[in-house]
Amino acid sequence: MVKKMEPTPSLCIRGVSIFQGLLDSAAQMEMVAALREVARMAPFFRPVTSRGQSMSVRMTSAGQVGWVSDRRGYRYEPRHPEGSNWPPIPESVLAVWSQVVPNARMPDSCLVNFYDADARMGMHQDRDEADLEQPVVSISLGDDALFRIGNLTRGGKTESVWLKSGDVLVIGGAARLVYHGIDRIRAGSSKLLPDGGRINLTLRVAR
């Protein structure tokens, strides 16, 4: 279950709030089971950039819209690339959003990224959403990931922190457009996923 605790972050780095260990083992397993159903209804795919380069992560989504990337660029779409509607966001995932950002609008999109041991995510901003006053909430499941936090403009000094399974972070307020990325996966650091790897859920108010 999600730990019954006041929504006070363990760490705050450059305005990004990190709730370490917010989800206990049972909550993590419940969430993974729900995500298997999401992936059954909306299979993982490997997006490409507008330049035609394949991303190292595999991705799917839940909610009213999902994030996609192809030769036409980054955007939210109401359907999976194969044409089906995205499945609903699992209740266990929505419960985390309600706990850490209780005053925000409910999310209409949940990105589900799978990182194997070699996957990375370059420094980027989350700026494709219609209302940038609403936060982004990220949930980590599985292997540890080295999360890097930059600035509101590209470049400059950065800070990094290892995110572990069950950690939740919030990017909002003055830090809503901070650059961030994943530099490395610590393979084998978690036994949550039988075949290893990391799942990252990113909840957003996209429209």
Q: Per-residue pLDDT for 3 more than 70?
A: no
Mean pLDDT, residues 59-66: 98
E strand segments, 14-86: 16-19, 58-63, 66-70, 73-77
Q: Per-residue pLDDT for 50 more than 90?
A: no
Q: For residue 7, name the pLDDT band (cuts at 50, 70, 90).
A: low
pTM: 0.94
The CA distance from 155 to 140, in Å, is: 25
Residue-by-residue DSSP string for 62-82: EES-EEEEETTEEEEESB-TT
Q: Per-residue pLDDT for 4 more than 70?
A: no
More confident residue, 137 or 73: 137
More confident residue, 105 or 74: 105
The CA distance from 149 to 158, in Å, is: 6
Pick the CATH number of 11-204 from 3.40.710.10, 2.60.120.10, 2.60.120.590, 2.30.110.10: 2.60.120.590
What's the burial of 145, exposed, middle or buried (CB within 10 Å: 0-12/13-18/19+)?
A: buried
pLDDT at position 2 is 53
